[in-house]
Amino acid sequence: MSRRLLALSLALFAAACSSLASSADRARAAIAEVADAGLAIPLADGRTLEIPAGHLEAVAVDVGPGTRRAFDAFAQLSLTGRIDGVPISYVGNERFRVRCAGSCRIDGPLAPRLAAVVEALLARRAALAAGDAAALASLARDETRLDPDGLRAAAEREVAGWFIRVEGDEAVVGEAAADGKQRRLQLGRSGEAWLFSSGLP
């Protein structure tokens, strides 16, 4: 058998195996490909959340509406990365799109909920650094009165890491300080935004 014919046979065999795999298996394989390459998640302000190769895992995968060529998928993701030098650890449920043509790829953002929560955390830090009480209050889920002394104290705390967990439309964040102590922040989804229900200042 010639090398060209052998290569064609292997390609056809691989395509057949892919077509026989379940949608959940194909979604898991698409995530594994992203995990092997590493992931850069662009944020609305132009910054990028970097997930190194090998630091992303699909703990559980399910599928939703679609066809064998394109379908929605759901996964509980576990990952670690960095944004502006701050370490991030994340476990959360995400919905994304998978598109298949021979092999399967993630079509669009893989972790939109993580991105939105990180954007809210960064907006909070920026408002604290600027001493902007109005900007900080706009991130609150409910009307909030902010103590100026509390704002100054919060702005002076160095963030050494964020430990994020998202379940449904709720997020819990452990914000680690340089001394190892953690503050508990809670956020809830409101439309497309994630707003703080506790721990804002």
Q: Which residues form the domain of 44?
A: 3-110
Q: Residue 41: which of 93, 109, 137 has the closest Cα? A: 109
Distance CA(19)–CA(5), nearest Å, equals 21
Q: Assess whether 17 and 106 both reside in one domain.
A: yes
DSSP string, 143-167: -----HHHHHHHHHSPEEEEEEEEE
Whether residues 127 and 162 share a domain: the answer is: yes
- Same domain assignment for residues 98 and 141: no
Verify that 104 and 10 share a domain, yes or no.
yes
Q: Given 110, 141, 167, which residue is the final one in a domain? A: 110
Boundary (domain end) residue, out of 53, 85, 110: 110
Measure the CA–CA gap between 199 and 124, rounded to whole angstroms.
Answer: 10
d(CA 35, CA 135): 36
pLDDT (average), residues 68-85: 96
Under the banding of pLDDT at 50, 70 and 90, the label for residue 188 is very high
Provide the whole-model pTM.
Answer: 0.87
pLDDT of residue 153: 86
Domain count, the chain: 2
Higher pLDDT, 4 or 99: 99
> How many other C-beta atoms lie within 10 A of the C-beta of residue 200?
22
- The dihedral of CA 169, 94, 122, 173: what is its sign? positive
Tokens representing 125? 């830090």
Q: CATH no. for residue 165?
A: 3.10.450.50
What are the tens digits of pLDDT across the range 148-174? 777 888 889 899 999 999 999 999 999
The answer, yes or no, to whether residue 17 has pLDDT greater than 60, is no
Q: How many residues does the chain have?
A: 201
Averaged pLDDT for residues 91-95: 97
Percent over 70 (pLDDT), the chain: 90
Regarding whether 163 and 86 lie in a shared domain, the answer is no
- Average pLDDT score over the chain: 89
Looking at the fold, whether 104 and 147 belong to one and the same domain comes out as no
Boundary-marking domain end, from 110, 145, 176: 110
